[in-house]
Amino acid sequence: MLKLREAILYVYECHGLGYGKTVCQKLVETELAFQKIQFIKHAPIEVKYKTEVIRNFKMRFGLVENKVILGVTALQKECNYEILTMQTYLKALGLSVGLLANFGKSQLEIRGVKA
C-alpha cells in the first residue's frame, strides 16, 4: 500500500491538480505500470444472492496487486458515493481495504476505505 500511495503522490508532484478524472486515472495507471505494480483496470466483479451469481460486470475502480481497490477521481465535492460504492465492491470481492485519490480539490485527497 505504501508503494501505491507513493505512486499517487508522484503523479501529484509531477502534474498537480486541475486535470479531469480521465487524465488523472491514466496518469496514475501509467505510473503504476512504470513502477511494475500490478493494476487491473475495471476488474470483473460478481453480484451474488446467497450462492447464485445474478450479474457479472466490470467495476469502475481498479484492482492493485489483487489486494486493494483503487479509485481515482477529480471531484470538487465530497466523494461519498464513491466511498459507498467502493465499500460494496470490497465486500463483494472479500477484500478489506480500498484507496480513493481525489485530484479535484484544492489539494490532493487520499482516503483509505474499509469494507
Q: Tell me which residue range forms the domain holding 76.
A: 2-114
**In this prediction, what percent of the chain has a pLDDT beyond 70?**
100
Q: Domain of 15: which CATH number? A: 3.40.1350
When pLDDT is averaged across residues 73-83 and rounded to a whole number, the result is 89
Residue 1 has pLDDT above 80, yes or no: no
Check if the beta carbon of residue 59 is closer than 8 Å to that of residue 45: yes
- Pick 58 or 76 by higher pLDDT: 58
Please report, for residues 12, 63, 84, 86, the alpha-carbon distance to residue 15 in angstroms, rounded to integers and kept in the order given: 5, 23, 28, 26
Count of domains in the chain? 1
Residue 113 has pLDDT above 90, yes or no: yes
Give pLDDT, residue 76: 84
Give pLDDT, residue 77: 84
* DSSP conformational letter for 16: -
Residue 78 has pLDDT above 90, yes or no: no
